[in-house]
Structure 1
Amino acid sequence: MPSAAARVVLVTGVSRFLGARVANTLQADPGIERVIGVDTVPPTAPLGRTEFVRVDIRTPSIAKVISSAEVDTVVHLNLVTSQTTSRSKAKELNVIGTMQLLAACQRSADMRKLVVRSSAAVYGSSPMDPAVFTERDEPVEPPTSGYAKDAVEVEGYVRGLQRRRSDLTVSVLRFANFLGPGVDSPLTRYLRMPVVPTVLGFDPRLQFVHEDDGIEVLRRMTVEEHPGTFNVAGDGVLLLSQALRRAGRTFVPVPAPSFSMMGEAGRRFAGLSGFSPELLRWLTYGRVIDNARLVNELSWRPKYGSEAAFADFVSSSDLGRGVPLELFDRLTSVLGRKLD
């Protein structure tokens, strides 16, 4: 549904991959007069005509930026989903930052639209889950920790803003796990481990969204009118075992309690900071979301299904074809001794 073009768009988290790509995409739209990118650290990627402002959205300073620039559209992408920072700091950025940002949006007379990046992790992962989650479904076991719980809280604060500012167009996007050539995430680091652990007795169904499709959804939500909550994922699913075989990865099933031990290997070899509870549950039970509402609303379907998104990630990465047998034997023997 087309709308009057956004004049001044503010993008949070612009120093990260997703924020930078969204800002670069929006600045190419001739109907957008200004794109302002905010983050706590300067971006490393070129932002073109996007104006970078170094500001912490956890502080009242974000309100001054929104007010002085007469921002009418906010694209909130600052959800921290990785363990690259302490859990307390990540929660502050996710929850306290969102609260400050929404308060600034509420007070601004110029504001007319809010687009929020959320996560399909709000549905949790449980052995009692439905085969497919729609936007109307509630989690069987709500997330109790990590960024998944933060995302639930963020959505709650967004609903509060909608009650107070019913004139705003608000779009909440529950993304499946991003994949693509430019994505660096706990998932991609997991896939790059020299020996990839899986949870013994489980082969979860997984779903992905290609980075290009995710950017296109965010662009459309920004320049068009699509209020509501939408699942965002490529069509189809992959079993974890299928994905690892297609990537040529060496993997070993281990009991769930031993997963953290393999996470220690990930610290050294793949840049992981351990396995978060959300990732462990997802790699145990999986999760599948229905994207029909998004497809119907946009009259558009993601270019990449889950299989194609995974294939593009594999073809553009340096995953290789497994590990030397000697290293595999050494890692699994160490794991075996720890389990005795």
Structure 2
Amino acid sequence: MSRSVLVTGVAGSLAAYVARRLADLGVDGGISKVVGIDTMLPPGDLGGVKFVRADIRTPVVGKVIAVEDVDTVVHLDVNPPKRGRSGGVKELNVIGTMQLLAACQRSSTVSKFILGSSAAVYGTSPRDPAMFTESLLARDGVRSGFPKDIVEVESYVRGFARRRPEVIITTLRSAQILDPVIESPLATYFSSPVLPAVMGFDPRLQFTDLHDAFQVLQQAILHDRPGTFNIAGDGVVLLSQAARRLGRPVIPLPPIGFATAARRVLRAAGSDIPPDLHRLLTYGRVVDTSALRDIFGYDLSTTSEDTFEEFRKSIRPGIMSAVGGRS
């Protein structure tokens, strides 16, 4: 069966990449049509993707689903706030997801919904476990900002699953994708000429390889993979290790007021980070991916260390001036 796929947020680098790759698969690869939707024009060519300029917070999204006979919705339009746009982004994350789910609930054609979620749903806290499995809840760090948004988004998706149990729901909680062509807060941070760090902390970080991320999405689209799954390369990279490999000077800052001080330092250096990233840079976060391997059926091909090393080789001063994405 060929899938007719709607991808949200295609003005963003990840959703645009996914939509293009899916369209390239064509009917022989199990994809009959790819429709991309966003309020803004994509920055580059989407190839064989049919672009619709529309807002998922409005009833228009339901019309798009009906007109295009969409049977699979890939929701990638959930993002952290960017400088000067935090309110609008939060509304898009939460209200946009609610309206999109309402449109899917009314649809007679939608049979699969895939949420591009984030490991940020686990928050970040000094009381965190060594590794988060999919059944664990956040200990702290989800009371505001993007982590709070993603918790709410997932709760709405669970509600939709109860109302439409026949629809296959796949939730993918990914660590940040680290790739020079994909926007992410850690890509911005590591591309900065200096790296603010918290005195007395050396957080453990994980990354997701872009190829792995797409392969997981592709399998979720073409096959039935219901459930919630963590995605992250095996192993961890300490912030101190990353700084040494990048050759970036580290600026130690006190824990109290770190978020404000770090953003000032980065802005002075011509960069910026989302306000939620400071907790990750303090406590770190590690997720368990056993369910992805044992239940979903995909074994990640790239470790977090290898993903970071490929990113390190690709970046040069000034090559990434302003990127942001999932925290």
TM-score, length-scaled by structure 2:
0.92
What fraction of aligned residue pairs are identical, expressed as a percent? 48
Whole-angstrom CA distance in 2 between matches of 1:46 and 1:270: 28
Pairing 1:132-151 to 2, within 5 Å after superposition? 132-141=131-140, 143-151=142-150
5+ residue gaps, structure 2: 319-327
Alignment pair present for 1:25 and 2:21: yes
Whole-angstrom CA distance in 1 between matches of 2:100 and 2:52: 15
Verify the 8 A CA contact 1:82 1:185 in the aligned structure 2: no
Verify the 8 A CA contact 1:38 1:54 in the aligned structure 2: yes
5+ residue gaps, structure 1: 321-340
- Equivalent residue number for residue 271 of structure 1: 271
- Equivalent residue number for residue 262 of structure 2: 262
Whole-angstrom CA distance in 1 between matches of 2:69 and 2:91: 26
Pairing 1:184-199 to 2, within 5 Å after superposition? 184-199=183-198
Shift of 1:73: 0.5
- Equivalent residue number for residue 14 of structure 1: 10
Question: How many residues are treated as equivalent by the alignment?
Answer: 314
Whole-angstrom CA distance in 1 between matches of 2:170 and 2:82: 26
CA deviation map 1:23-82 (0-9, x unaligned) = 111112222211100000111221111100000001111111111111110000001124
Whole-angstrom CA distance in 1 between matches of 2:295 and 2:84: 36
Instruction: Classify 1:84/1:304 alpha carbon distance in 2 versus 1 (closer, same or farther; 3 Å).
Output: farther
Verify the 8 A CA contact 1:25 1:219 in the aligned structure 2: no
Pairing 1:12-91 to 2, within 5 Å after superposition? 12-29=8-25, 30=27, 31-91=30-90
CA deviation map 1:261-313 (0-9, x unaligned) = 231131243431x551x311111111100011011234332221000010011
Alignment pair present for 1:304 and 2:323: no
218-227 or 101-110, larger mean C-alpha shift: 218-227
- Equivalent residue number for residue 317 of structure 1: 315
Pairing 1:186-225 to 2, within 5 Å after superposition? 186-225=185-224
Instruction: Classify 1:283/1:47 alpha carbon distance in 2 versus 1 (closer, same or farther; 3 Å).
Output: same
CA deviation map 1:211-260 (0-9, x unaligned) = 12111111111111100000010010011101111111110221023432
CA deviation map 1:70-103 (0-9, x unaligned) = 1110000001124145211011110000000000
Residue 43 of structure 2: SS of its match in structure 1? coil
Residue 153 of structure 1: SS of its match in structure 2? helix
Query: Please, what is the CA RMSD of the aligned residues?
Result: 1.5
Whole-angstrom CA distance in 2 between matches of 1:10 and 1:171: 15
- Equivalent residue number for residue 233 of structure 2: 234
Whole-angstrom CA distance in 2 between matches of 1:97 and 1:144: 20
- Equivalent residue number for residue 169 of structure 2: 170
Q: Which amino acid aligns with 1:244?
A: A
Alignment pair present for 1:5 and 2:2: yes
64-73 or 103-112, larger mean C-alpha shift: 64-73
Whole-angstrom CA distance in 2 between matches of 1:270 and 1:217: 35
Whole-angstrom CA distance in 1 between matches of 2:186 and 2:216: 21
- Equivalent residue number for residue 119 of structure 1: 118
Q: Which amino acid aligns with 1:19?
A: A
Runs of 4+ in structure 1 over 4 Å off = none
Residue 196 of structure 2: SS of its match in structure 1? strand
Residue 114 of structure 1: SS of its match in structure 2? strand
Residue 209 of structure 1: SS of its match in structure 2? coil
For 2:292, which of 291, 294, 317 is the aligned residue?
294
Verify the 8 A CA contact 2:6 2:74 in the aligned structure 1: yes
Residue 161 of structure 2: SS of its match in structure 1? helix
Whole-angstrom CA distance in 2 between matches of 1:184 and 1:106: 31
Q: Which amino acid aligns with 2:32?
A: E
